[in-house]
Amino acid sequence: MKNGNCIAAACIPSHRNVRRRELKEGEGVVSVSSLPDEILQHILCFLPTKLVVTTSVLSSRWRHIWCDTPSISLNSSTLGVASIMVRQHRYKAPKMMSLHLQTGTRENVKHINTWIELAMSRRVEKMYLELKFKRGYYEFPDFFYINSSVKELRVAFMFNANFTLIPKCSVSWASLKKLSLRACRLSNMSIAMILSGCPILEFLKLDSCDDLRVLDLSNSLRLRTLHVRRPYIGPYFRDPSPMQIVAPHVRCLKLINSLLLCDLVDLSSLAEAKLSIYFDDLLRIEPDSLGVLVVKMAEMLEKLHNVEKLTLGRKFIEILSHPELGSVPFPMFKIKALTLETPFAEASYVIPPAIEKLLQHSPDLKKLNPTHKSLLHKAWRSILTTTRICKAWTLINAKDQNMESFGRCPVGK
């Protein structure tokens, strides 16, 4: 019996043995604090700078980790305090990957240049500047226009302040590949100066840059993607000079117009395009203005007859489908993939004239991608097949990307 008790006692582990076993099994677990500084700083890059700074109170190990974080994101509430850190030489990151400044407080104007200059001295690669000042509060210094490290630059002025972006010196952004400008007053000369200093620019986005009248990208040999968004100006034409676009090397164009359409002069390399119009109430457009608008839209489509991928917005299709304007001629297209961003009635049995005409003039069409499920309605499928308006194409479900192939049929006349 005594031996039995001894055996039973030996089989029941003590709390001390269990604890030892847990410690032994946990020897392979690495705490976050034991990670190398480089890994910790990389993790901190994904957090707001305001939160990153608070990690300094975790322990002595974390006290200075944030000072070497290569990505900085500051807003109005943190910009002033962070600038004190710069003056005290506490920010020690030898290389800065990105700088994001967002402020609209007048007191922070003096801090913007401090951070831009610091970022450029640390060879920053991405710089995002979102400024919400009223007109005249801020002007970029000359050193802003000379930088050999930045690869992506986004400048956005909020609240339609329309800040003037006119370089007073030559521009040299030798490494810049992506440039986005919003609500900047750009003259033809200023955009020409900027583009001349970006020899390897690949992506350009201009949003609400009112004063620009000629966008000549002939010398931007590497530019492949162009996004242009023109501001809404009301129901009537108020400017007789729409912006001209000369972009012989661009492959992808996204154009969001107000009623002031852009004049597409040269898009000889274009392969993909998206056209949209921002306007709420077509009834507010005077008949004469509507006629001029549709003619301009038809001319725009003529310049896109070589594209293989085309996306048309809802208002663009709606205006083209106006019953009084059905005689507007369409060119023959080389479209292989067509996306229609327009909702139709679920039970609609009528194909909008603009869509029917577009399909009739697209003999090479292979894929039709409606962004609204109504085009998947069996009535639509029946009509699109029996009217024989396409050669051979595939209808793509916008939700699940399932494809429904339709049989080969001759082009409608």
Quick one: pLDDT at residue 181? 95
pLDDT above 70: residue 59: no
pLDDT tens for each residue of 10-49? 444 454 454 444 444 445 445 666 666 566 656 665 666 6
**H/E element holding 357?**
helix 353-360
Per-residue pLDDT at 197? 96
pTM across the whole model: 0.78
Reduce the DSSP state of residue 245 to 3 states and report it. Answer: strand
pLDDT of residue 219: 96
Which structure tokens are listed for 323?
A: 């019953």
Cα radius of gyration (the chain): 30
Residue 225 CB-half CA count within 13 A: 7
Higher-pLDDT residue of 376 and 153 is: 153
pLDDT at site 406: 40
Q: Supply the pLDDT for residue 105.
A: 76
Give the SS3 label for residue 175.
Answer: coil
144 has pLDDT over 60: yes
Which DSSP category does 191 fall into? H
pLDDT at position 241 is 59
* Lowest mean per-residue pLDDT among 30-44, 86-100, 169-183, 326-340: 30-44
* Residue of 328, 325, 207 lying closest to 258 (CA atoms): 207
Tokens of 234: 């009301």
Which residue from 217, 233, 125 is spatially nearest to 174, judged by alpha carbons? 125
Statement: residue 309 has pLDDT above 90: yes
The answer on pLDDT for 207 being more than 70 is yes
SS3 252: strand
pLDDT band at 316 (very low <50, low <70, confident <90, very high): confident
Supply the pLDDT for residue 265: 92
Instruction: Say if residue 92's pLDDT is above 80.
Output: no
What is the per-residue burial (b if ≥16 Cβ within 10 Å, else e) of 215-231? bbbeebeebbbbbbbbb
- Tens digits of per-residue pLDDT, 233-280? 544 444 445 789 999 999 999 998 876 678 899 999 999 999 988 765
Residue 152 pLDDT exceeds 70: yes
On the question of pLDDT at 364 being above 80, the answer is yes
Mutual angle of helices 76-87 and 109-121, in 10-degree steps = 60
Amino acid found at 125: E
Q: What pLDDT, in 10s, does the model give residues 288-300?
A: 677 777 778 888 8
- Distance separating alpha carbons of residues 154 and 244, to the nearest angstrom: 23
Banded pLDDT at 186 (limits 50, 70, 90): confident
| 8-state DSSP, 182 | E
Domain ranges within the chain, ordered by starting residue: 70-212, 228-331, 334-413
